[in-house]
């Protein structure tokens, strides 16, 4: 029996033993999207039965990560619902009731075999039969009265499922793997309740899925081998077996199971690195599912309309962080200034802090090596962490108070960001005031380059930029500078690169004139003057002067 034509009810059932990992997040996304696409119900159930590893804190982390991704659940912790409670530790009475039903029907029996006895049987079977085929059912033949008497006398026991004699192969339908069939002879009479009264995972999960009316079980394929056992429990309970969908593993770029070695593996690390939740959801959805094999940008709302189980693939998927960066960049590019400021707020505040902190007059800093750049990019720097609390609050408030100013930064970087955490490095120069942090290589390659006439270029631009008669308008100023440069025989590149270095500190800033519109004109002129003095020596214009050598030593 499978559950077709019934309103869809699916669940995400994390064990709160740590962070929400990428694999779990994908499982949650598929359940959520499937519920939305079918007008069904998405249930969240916390499987907190491991007393040592399940903590309230971990539960909160998981709820927070799901909320951040926008995966709202219809029933579960904090929202309640008709099938609660939604924590396994609070559902013991339902497991007791289900077990009582099985006992009543003769589908479960007590087993008094001690651990030592079972270990000895296992060791013997391994020697004489080349392997242990599971529990030999010794206690299954104990007469009921005798068993009851031994229980009443307090003899330790577990409860086992009595797998029906003559049961054929265990079969079920899987939306990913198709029709599955497992030989019955490898299924022993599994334990349902342990000696200490706790229930096994397989039993609890089936009881919950039955009592919560779950129609489709979408989960990682690490649970595939549990499924035939669970099917036997469904059958014993006389419950409908849901349709399963087991999701293949996510691998790192090297083809190995995704782990810490590959970098960030949990959802909140991605949040802290400045990925947009929509981009992460889109990206994870495509790890094992596709709309048509081609479309890559499928925003969450569309995913909720188009998701289907039949397009889940059995193949392992590869977590390609470069693709995630690209995708995040697309979402940033398309989100618009208003949404960007809202989403980027902590990084914009950080940009302000970084800019105002770092600059003190005109300084030259060594260009980081490629390795240093990569190492810095790999570190998750949570905005506001390690900075003065008051200063931080002031910078956050500034973003709210001066939204227009911050929104005007969006066009400067909209097409140049892969993640929000790149914002401070790209835009801190806007907050330097009249100071400049000069990148050493840019000084060498642009300002001090033989025959580049950088000092002349700066003088020409300074004259245009400091002239109050000129409008403070990007296009007009650029044109005026260009014309003045042309008159002096300086091509645009030779004219503008020195200006870029003098104002933004290096050769790779966002569009320069647009950026200058967000700065105080007096600061722009002061930066040019300061850099000229530092690099070329006050007023002497000599590119090989002592000041220049000093500047980069």
How many CA atoms does the CB half-sphere of 377 hold within 13 Å? 16
Q: How far apart are CA 430 and CA 515, in angstroms?
A: 7
Least Å distance, CB 49 to ligand GLU, is: 9
Q: Which of residues 253-292 bind ligand GLU (CB under 6 A)?
A: none
Residue 26 has what DSSP assignment? Answer: H
Q: Are 224 and 177 in contact, with CB atoms under 8 Å apart?
A: yes
Shorter beta-carbon distance to ligand GLU: residue 14 or 274: 14
Give the other-Cβ count within 10 Å of 437's Cβ: 19
Query: What would the x/- binding string for ligand GLU be over residues 111 to 150, using CB under 6 A?
Result: ----------------------------------------
Q: Are 298 and 306 in contact, with CB atoms under 8 Å apart?
A: yes
Shorter beta-carbon distance to ligand GLU: residue 88 or 352: 88
Least Å distance, CB 185 to ligand GLU, is: 25
Least Å distance, CB 138 to ligand GLU, is: 30
Query: What would the x/- binding string for ligand GLU be over residues 153 to 192, using CB under 6 A?
Result: ----------------------------------------
Least Å distance, CB 50 to ligand GLU, is: 9
Shorter beta-carbon distance to ligand GLU: residue 77 or 537: 77
**DSSP H or E run through 172:** strand 170-174
Give the other-Cβ count within 10 Å of 276's Cβ: 23
Query: What 3-state class would DSSP assign to 75?
Result: strand
Cα dihedral across residues 75, 79, 81, 87: positive or negative: positive
Query: What would the x/- binding string for ligand GLU be over residues 6 to 45, using CB under 6 A?
Result: -------xxx------------------------------
Pair of tokens at residue 115: 């651990």
Rule CB under 6 A: choose which of 3, 9, 43, 47 binds ligand GLU. 47
Rule CB under 6 A: choose which of 223, 306, 333, 441 binds ligand GLU. 223
Least Å distance, CB 30 to ligand GLU, is: 11
Shorter beta-carbon distance to ligand GLU: residue 219 or 229: 219
Least Å distance, CB 27 to ligand GLU, is: 7
With binding defined as CB under 6 A, does residue 216 bind ligand GLU? no
With binding defined as CB under 6 A, does residue 219 bind ligand GLU? yes
Q: Phi first, then psi: give them for residue 42, nearest 5 degrees.
A: -105, 115
Q: Are 522 and 430 in contact, with CB atoms under 8 Å apart?
A: no
Candidates 355, 341, 349; CA nearest to 410 is 341
Shorter beta-carbon distance to ligand GLU: residue 229 or 500: 229
Q: What is the 3-state secondary structure (H, E, C) of 359-372?
A: CCCEEEECCCCHHH
The length of the chain is: 553
Q: Which residues are at the interface with ligand GLU (CB under 6 A)? A: 13-15, 47, 205, 219, 223
């Amino acid at each position: 029996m499978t559950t077709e034509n019934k309103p869809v009810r699916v669940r995400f059932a994390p064990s709160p033993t740590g962070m929400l990992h990428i694999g779990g997040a994908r499982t949650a996304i598929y359940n959520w999207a499937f519920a939305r696409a079918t007008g069904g119900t998405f249930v969240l159930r916390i499987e907190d039965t491991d007393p040592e590893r399940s903590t309230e804190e971990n539960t909160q982390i998981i709820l927070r990560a799901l909320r951040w991704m926008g995966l709202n659940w219809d029933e579960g912790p904090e929202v309640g619902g008709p099938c609660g409670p939604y924590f396994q530790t609070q559902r013991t009475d339902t497991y007791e009731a289900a077990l009582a039903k099985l006992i009543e029907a003769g589908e479960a029996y007590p087993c008094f075999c001690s651990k030592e006895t079972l270990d000895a049987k296992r060791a013997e079977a391994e020697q004489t039969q080349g392997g242990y085929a599971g529990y030999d059912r010794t206690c299954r033949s104990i007469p009921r009265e005798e068993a009851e008497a031994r229980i009443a006398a307090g003899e330790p026991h577990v409860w086992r499922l009595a797998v029906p004699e003559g049961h054929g192969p265990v079969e079920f339908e899987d939306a990913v793997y198709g029709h599955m069939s497992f030989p019955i002879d490898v299924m022993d009479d599994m334990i349902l309740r342990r000696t200490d009264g706790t229930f096994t995972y397989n039993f609890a999960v089936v009881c919950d899925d039955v009592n919560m009316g779950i129609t489709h079980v979408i989960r990682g394929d690490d649970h595939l081998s549990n499924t035939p056992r669970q099917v036997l429990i469904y059958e014993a309970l006389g419950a409908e077996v849901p349709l399963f969908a087991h999701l293949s593993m996510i691998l790192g770029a090297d083809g190995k199971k995704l782990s810490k070695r590959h970098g960030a593996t949990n959802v909140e690390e991605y949040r802290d690195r400045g990925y947009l939740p929509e981009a992460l959801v889109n990206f994870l959805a495509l790890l094992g599912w596709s709309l048509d094999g081609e479309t890559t940008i499928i925003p969450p709302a569309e995913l909720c309309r188009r998701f289907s189980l039949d397009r889940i693939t059995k193949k392992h998927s590869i977590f390609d962080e470069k693709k995630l960066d690209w995708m995040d960049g697309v979402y940033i590019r398309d989100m618009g200034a208003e949404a960007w400021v809202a989403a980027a707020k902590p990084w914009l505040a950080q940009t302000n802090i970084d800019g105002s902190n770092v600059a003190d007059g005109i300084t030259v800093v060594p260009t980081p090596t490629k390795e240093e750049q990569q190492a810095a990019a790999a570190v998750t720097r949570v905005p506001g962490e390690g900075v003065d609390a008051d200063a931080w609050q002031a910078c956050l408030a500034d973003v709210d108070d001066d939204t227009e100013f911050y929104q005007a930064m969006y066009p400067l970087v909209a097409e140049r960001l892969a993640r929000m955490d790149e914002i401070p490095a790209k835009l801190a120069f806007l907050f330097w005031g009249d100071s400049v942090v000069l990148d050493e290589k840019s000084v060498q390659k642009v300002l001090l380059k033989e025959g580049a006439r950088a000092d002349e270029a700066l003088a020409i631009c300074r004259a245009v930029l400091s002239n109050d008669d000129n409008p403070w308008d990007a296009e007009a100023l650029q044109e005026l500078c260009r014309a003045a440069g042309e008159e002096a025989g300086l091509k645009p590149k030779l004219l503008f690169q020195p200006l870029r270095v003098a104002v933004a500190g290096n050769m790779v800033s966002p569009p320069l004139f647009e950026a200058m519109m967000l700065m105080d004109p007096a600061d722009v002129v002061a930066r040019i003057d300061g850099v000229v003095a530092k690099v070329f020596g006050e007023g002497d214009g000599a590119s090989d002067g002592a000041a220049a050598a000093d500047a980069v030593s």
